Amino acid sequence: MKTTFSTIIFTMLAFACSFAAGTEPLRFFVGTYTSQDGSRGIYTGQFDTERGTLTEPMLVAEGNSPAFLAVHPSKPYLYAVSEAQRGLLLAFQYSKEDGQLTPIGEKGIPGQAPCHLAVCSSENGATGAVVTANYSSGNVTSFPILADGKIGDVVSDVKHAGSGPNTSRQRSPHAHGVYFDGTTIAVPDLGIDQVVYYTVDLATGALSTSADHANLRLALGAGPRHLALSKDKRFVYVINELDSTVTVFDRQSTRNPELVQTISTLTDGKDVAALGNTTAEIELHPSGKFLYASNRGDDSIAVFAVSREGKLTLLQNAPSGGRTPRFFCLDPTGRFLLACNQDTGNICVFRVDQKTGKLTSTDQSISVPKAICLVFVH
């Protein structure tokens, strides 16, 4: 019996060790603003999905505010927009092992203050495009991705038109996000209170007005910023920067989308104007059961339950661990949420309760000045 028991214990320990050894940390990259507080460009590190810990960040590419980042879905390429008045689209090849970035090209963007981008790729990764949203000039631009990951010359430059009732923020169009669902591009425009749809030709990178998707119209003065899409692509969740709300649309009929709900990102009794609150990021949990949104001013992450009908119920406003959570993301396992607090220059880790969706601080954080965006690589 003694020998048998020892053998069992040894086997269990060996299995545990092999499991732990097989859990590799995830490589991440952070985009930043470089005009102040010491940030110099793009940083990298690793995230332990078992412990929820981050390694100290390392600078891997210097540049002028390479703020928002996007990763190719099947190849080791990273793209960034330099968020300057005259912006640049930057392309890198990355090493998953040590996080080193090798520049492979850049292109001037015909627009001002590019603030968001998306990589649009065919299933086999053979063709595709990078599409950028340019805030100040209110236009959308697209560039083909070449076979070696480099960027071709701009092929589409589409200018939005219109304005909104908020005279300080909506005097002109302000394209603020780009989202690719496999066939179409959705662009929330803060200035005109719409989400505008385009079809993208993955062979050439060219954009055209979508004939199959009606634009989504938000409440006047809402200021749509970013969005999240349900796994079945039926429900669209739009976060509105100016009035601190999330609006839900049912796209069962893409030509006649139905407005399902608009709900505040703040708990009852909190006043948007008094807090000076503006919303920023939005993301669905991989399970589809929970949705998260960030509040700047209240400095919190709003946690919502999602019903089968797509409706939201606010569960929690969890403090973000710093000031101005401009960005956050869930790790691929859905067990942790990482919040990038722009004005305190820290990235804080929260554990996600898999039953309730609520957040609990892990007290784990790293310092990255003016952290704006964080992406994991495959």
Q: What is the pLDDT of residues 301-312, one digit of tens each?
A: 999 999 999 999
Residue 102 structural domain? 64-217
Tell me, what's the pLDDT at 35? Answer: 76
Residue 206 and residue 156 in contact, taking contact as beta carbons nearer than 8 Å: yes
Tell me, what's the pLDDT at 22? Answer: 45
Segment (H or E) for 19 = helix 2-22
Q: What is the pLDDT of residues 157-193, one digit of tens each?
A: 999 999 999 999 999 999 999 999 999 999 999 999 9
Q: What is the pLDDT of residues 45-61, one digit of tens each?
A: 999 999 999 999 999 99
With bands split at pLDDT 50, 70 and 90, how would you rate the model's confidence at 36?
low
Residue 146 maps to a domain: yes
Q: What is the pLDDT of residues 190-219, one digit of tens each?
A: 999 999 999 999 999 999 999 999 999 999
Query: Is the pLDDT reported for residue 2 higher than 60?
Result: no
Residue 130 maps to a domain: yes
* One-letter identity of residue 325: P
Query: Is the pLDDT reported for residue 12 higher than 60?
Result: no
Residue 140 maps to a domain: yes
Integer angstrom CA distances of residue 296 from 28, 226, 317, 322, 373: 24, 14, 12, 10, 15
- pTM score: 0.93
Segment (H or E) for 199 = strand 194-200
> Strand, helix or coil at 348?
strand
Residue 268 maps to a domain: no
Tell me, what's the pLDDT at 37? Answer: 65
Here the tokens at position 357 are 């969706």
Residue 312 maps to a domain: no
Give the CATH number for residue 79: 2.130.10.10
Q: Where are the beta strands (DSSP E) in 138-277?
A: 139-144, 156-159, 179-180, 184-189, 194-200, 207-209, 216-217, 224-229, 235-240, 245-250, 258-264
How many whole angstroms separate alpha carbon 71 and alpha carbon 28? 10
Q: What is the pLDDT of residues 237-263, one digit of tens each?
A: 999 999 999 999 999 999 999 999 999
Residue 139 maps to a domain: yes
Residue 213 and residue 197 in contact, taking contact as beta carbons nearer than 8 Å: yes
Q: What is the pLDDT of residues 128-147, one digit of tens each?
A: 999 999 999 999 999 999 99
Residue 308 maps to a domain: no
Q: How large a percentage of the chain has pLDDT more than 70?
A: 94
How many whole angstroms separate alpha carbon 320 and alpha carbon 301? 6
Query: Is the pLDDT reported for residue 347 higher than 60?
Result: yes
Residue 99 maps to a domain: yes
- Per the structure, how many domains does the chain have? 1
